[in-house]
Amino acid sequence: MLAQNLFLKINSWVFTLLIILPILVIFYTAIGETTDVFSHLMSTVIGTYTLNTVLLVTGTVFLSLIMGIPSAWLMANYSIFGDRWLQWALVLPLAMPGYIVGYIYTDWFDYAGPIQLFLRYVSGWTSVAQYWCPDLRTLPGACFVLALVLHPYVYLLARAAFMEQNLTLTQSARLLGCSPMQSFFRISLPLARPAIAVGASLVAMEALGDFGTVRYFAVSTLTTAVYDTWLEYSNLNAAAKISAIMLLVIFFLISSERYSRHKQELFCQHACADKVTKVHLRGRYKLFATVWCWSLFIIAFIGPFGQLLIYTKDYYFSSSIDNFFQCSLNSLYVSSVAAVIALAIALLVNFYQRFSVTALRNVPARLASLGYAVPGTILAIGVLIALTSADHLMNSIAKETGWDKPGLLFSGSMFALLTAFVVRFSAIAIGSVESSLAKVSPSLDMAARTMGCSMRSMIKRVQLPLIRRGCLIAILLVFIESMKELNATLLLRPFNYETLATYVFNYASDEQLEYGALPAVLLILVGLIPLIMINRSLEQSHL
């Protein structure tokens, strides 16, 4: 038993340190000597990039709150037309990559697009000087597109918070003469503020780390600065310094969100809560609520996804099917391997956390989950620096011993991409396994020990069968997230290696998304799986 405990302890700490190594390497490299490239960037464009980043994050969060909170309140408390469908349909925009939505909307609003053609046809206008149409290839346009695909974070968490609130509180407010709007602003919204703050922080971190959308809209942010510094200047030191600045901003956002509610306590959420009965709206209120929710769903998901289906039908025979299948196989391979490795790490750290009696038993699981908060572009820089150093060390050893130099054994192969996926998405597997393992009663462990089971036998015969569903969910979620990952893949993929995400992005960047519509549809369909699972879990928790 002691030997098996030692095995769990050593392996848990080793894999945890390897996972956080890219993050530590970024800060270590950033405090090194400042290069001329970074000094030049600081004196010329970093100020503009920082301002654009702040405006992008602020605008995206603001629009996401406007889109997400009203729809969450309506779905949690009121009965409108099609609400049973809408309550999960409003989550689907999360499956849409921002750069795909951006491409479609700029195509629609272009001078030769259907919207301006319709305006000119109806009004008889002949020149663009006679009317105004919004230009989406701007910073506000990028905020709008990102808010369309990210506002479900706010919607999901706010809706769950509204559904958990004690119904007697709002009923008491109504008896005291408050209107529904007053009870919302005075009671429901303040009680839901922690959940809304978490949703807003998720939106902020996703917007901060977004690359595909801002790249397509030609909006220069700190994320594009990291990408360009490496690819155009081949300067990892400058890229690491910019990445460290972004990491500090991310940690500040997370710390601010937690500190803002560290003294807030909620009591009696369910103890005296009745079964929620939705209010049936009538008249103009019902019309407004129905139009708002369905319009949001159509604008954010149905419209762009329907356009992709039209592209797929019209350009199917013009697309390169061979390349599509090869990219699908590449994505399938790298995502499957990453999912299996992430699950193995999740099992290690969670079993160590369960069976260890030391005060630090929770630390590996918490540290190994840090990678998910790091944007893919920044994480790719940390992985590159760490693996490049390992390659130099291997080649130096080979030179000293007279062996053949292995070359870029780590940083120039699939190993780099797998490392980034495992570091970034192990948190998902750890959380899924941890939630399943928490439901297994400790009395089962004690019963197995009294029957003479070793730790290995207990894990194999008791724990693993009981957490099988959580393990399957962990593999599925990591697999899907790896399939969709773009930022890290663009920087770390081997030469001439394309995944579905990079394949679609390349077509969108070349203004030819029509030829990449089929893999884009596949990416979206794959991304719908975890969203449906999350919504079903939310529904079951409130039955």
Q: How confident is the prediction for the chain on average, in pLDDT?
A: 84
- Based on the domain organization, do 301 and 397 belong to the same domain? no
- Based on the domain organization, do 430 and 308 belong to the same domain? no
Residue range 213-218: mean pLDDT, rounded: 91
- Based on the domain organization, do 271 and 370 belong to the same domain? no
Domain that includes residue 180, residue range: 34-315
Residue range 350-370: mean pLDDT, rounded: 84
Instruction: Give the helix, strand, coil percentages of the chain, each rounded to 5.
Output: 80, 0, 20
- Based on the domain organization, do 272 and 404 belong to the same domain? no
> Is 523 part of a structural domain of the chain?
no
- Based on the domain organization, do 451 and 500 belong to the same domain? yes
pLDDT band for position 344 (cuts 50, 70, 90) = very high
- Based on the domain organization, do 39 and 16 belong to the same domain? no
- Based on the domain organization, do 395 and 422 belong to the same domain? yes
At a CB cut-off of 8 Å and minimum separation 6, what does 396 contact?
none
**Count of residues for the chain?**
543
Residue 118: phi, psi to the nearest 5?
A: -65, -40
Strands 279-280 and 78-79: parallel
Domain count, the chain: 2
Q: Which residue among 283, 315, 347 closes a domain?
A: 315
How buried is 390 (Cβ within 10 angstroms: 0-12 exposed, 13-18 middle, 19+ buried)? middle
CATH code, domain carrying 433: 1.10.3720.10
pLDDT tens per residue, range 424-438: 999 889 988 888 888
Residue 519: is its pLDDT beyond 50? Answer: yes
> Is 524 part of a structural domain of the chain?
no
Global confidence as pTM: 0.85
Q: Which residue among 285, 315, 345 closes a domain?
A: 315
Residue range 65-82: mean pLDDT, rounded: 89
pLDDT tens per residue, range 479-506: 988 988 998 999 899 888 999 999 999 9
> Is 225 part of a structural domain of the chain?
yes
User: Are 50 and 407 spatial neighbours (Cβ–Cβ below 8 Å)?
Assistant: no
- Based on the domain organization, do 147 and 22 belong to the same domain? no
Report pLDDT for 100: 93
User: Are 492 and 41 spatial neighbours (Cβ–Cβ below 8 Å)?
Assistant: no
pLDDT tens per residue, range 128-185: 777 788 888 899 999 999 999 999 999 988 888 888 776 667 667 767 777 777 777 7
> Is 65 part of a structural domain of the chain?
yes
> Is 534 part of a structural domain of the chain?
no
Which residue matches tokens 């690819």?
231
- Based on the domain organization, do 22 and 43 belong to the same domain? no
> Is 421 part of a structural domain of the chain?
yes
Residue 113: is its pLDDT beyond 70? Answer: yes
- Based on the domain organization, do 84 and 22 belong to the same domain? no
- Based on the domain organization, do 438 and 305 belong to the same domain? no
- Based on the domain organization, do 194 and 341 belong to the same domain? no
> Is 502 part of a structural domain of the chain?
yes
